[in-house]
Amino acid sequence: MRNNRYLNRRRAEADDLNPLASLANLFDVAMVFAVALMVAFALRMKMTEFLTSEDATFVKNAGRKDMEIIVKKNNKVTRYKASESSGGGQGRRVGIAYELDSGEVIYVPEAAAHEE
């Protein structure tokens, strides 16, 4: 019994002298910091829809050559980037888009536009 007390005391003293013992929780602190940065980034970029289970579409650099569309559907994120070949060639008009004073864009399909 006396030897057990002595060994326990020696182990406690060894833990106090171990310089790496204070770094044991550093990984946990780093993980909390990383999650906080990711949430702050999502809030800053107004991408909170990507933190929920709802489907969402995000347009980055709209109307520019480096435009990118990010789509989240069924918890799968897909990125579409504009390229030289996309948007070129022959096509036909399919509708009209109107921008309201509030910044919203309303799309009217071509068939409905001709009925007016």
Residue 76 lies in a domain: no
Instruction: Provide DSSP, 29-43.
Output: HHHHHHHHHHHHHHH
Q: What is the pLDDT of residues 38-91, one digit of tens each?
A: 889 888 877 777 777 788 888 888 777 888 888 888 888 888 887 666 556 666
pTM: 0.39
Q: Which pLDDT belongs to residue 32?
A: 94
Distance, C-alpha 11 to centroid of its chain: 46
Q: Which residues, in sequence order, are CB contacts of 81 under 8 Å at separation 6+?
A: 66, 67, 68
* 58 belongs to a structural domain: no
* CA gap 57, 72 in Å, rounded: 6
Query: What is the pLDDT, as a whole number, of residue 35?
Result: 94
Q: Per-residue pLDDT tens for 50-59?
A: 777 788 888 8
For residue 40, give its domain range: 1-44
Q: Is residue 81 part of a domain?
A: no
Domain count, the chain: 1
Cα(29)–Cα(51) distance, integer angstroms:
22
Q: Is residue 106 part of a domain?
A: no
